[in-house]
Structure 1
């Protein structure tokens, strides 16, 4: 019986030029985790927000280069024939016996004592609330959250009545003492200290013999640096731009901050026989915002890391 070999014929593959070729399907592009997705809508919205933020600043810079007459006879977003920026700056610091310099020093004083004290109290209170247990802690948390929701203008009139009975109105303390209280700064440091300071690290410092003060200044404080910068920026901007509280507390122009002083110059044109000095108001406003811009640029990396702290839970 002879053996037979069975062969299985395979179907012939169609050639590339034949009409029966099987088309190749494209693989869908997978998004790489390292590369962010591009969104046209998000780009347009970001551009509009950037434009909305920069146009007033551009107008302020351009207007500060014009004279009083040039402001009324030129387009707002373009330069005038005469470049008067340096003359405007010089006149701003010398006008009315150099009162602008006094207002600038007053604002620095209010920021140094008010915002600096508010940051210190927020750091101490936030650290204590985050790392220590004591009776009434939940009640304190409720009070802090409630204080964050209350606007500062709602407390201005009761504060004025209280300070009036104490004889502190029309003094720098009427602006400094209310600025020491920052419920939002306290809450921010509370949240930041909860996530940024490991309890194990504090226990290790205590086992090594460090007291509470040494543990706070040598171990905890460096870890709280981004949060401290963030809170100090918020309190500094709030105190620097504070207008309503000094308006009802201060009567003596020698104690005015920049916000109140520039407003008095701006209202000077509406008074009988008053001389309009809008070019000085604009130049003074430009000088006023320069320290805030410099502070944000210098402390940007600390500020961003402070805002992102606690956003990712491990």
Structure 2
């Protein structure tokens, strides 16, 4: 009887190991670029047709949009659907607009999380550019398809953009007991300190070695810690502040967080403000930036 039980247990273990190996093989064989292309093609088609309900279906129910045209994050499926409905409404400048997207970076950061970065352009019926900018998004892979977990898209600075003399105080940061949130807090605090102390070395070490930086004041997407450090613009008199408005631990040492930021120029008392939506990798007691995506709020 013991022999039969032992054989049964061994068979069960072999089946579990076999299934696990097959699952790992599928993950290893995922084509990140193909998945990203499929998602992007679907987004473009639905945007260009002005189909807000279908477009919101490209997002998970708990997804977040962090975009230039909103003062704060857009959280959850219903809010996301309403945001697209507003974009395509009769009184919107973007009604009947067409979007084009270029993918510059694509990575699988875990067996079910995909990140990507690139550029976008929104044009009217006469092919006149209404908006252009950069994006750095996070997607969940499930059942053979990817859906947005976080859209972080920000328009480029324009020569017509003006600075504000209104000094804005940020809302108090969100607080969470979720796993690793304290490490995200430390990362954001370290980023603020690095910028305000003009510490390029310390600031660059907050990023992983092959991190992606996608911020609106820089040209293009910057890849790699050394390149990020070389492209830093730590201007005297600028004071950065930032808060955290949301956080999710995605498993496999990957987290996403988002919030607002302000930059005060103390030489002339003018301020710009914006939003950020970033991806972090947890290593030991530190949260490192895998992708930073931030931009100014459009006026």
| TM-score between both structures, scaled by the size of structure 1 | 0.22
* Higher relative contact order, structure no. (Cα contacts within 8 Å, ≥ 6 residues apart): 1
Larger Rg belongs to: 1
Q: Considering fraction of residues, name the structure with more strand.
A: 2
The structure that is helix-richer by fraction is 1
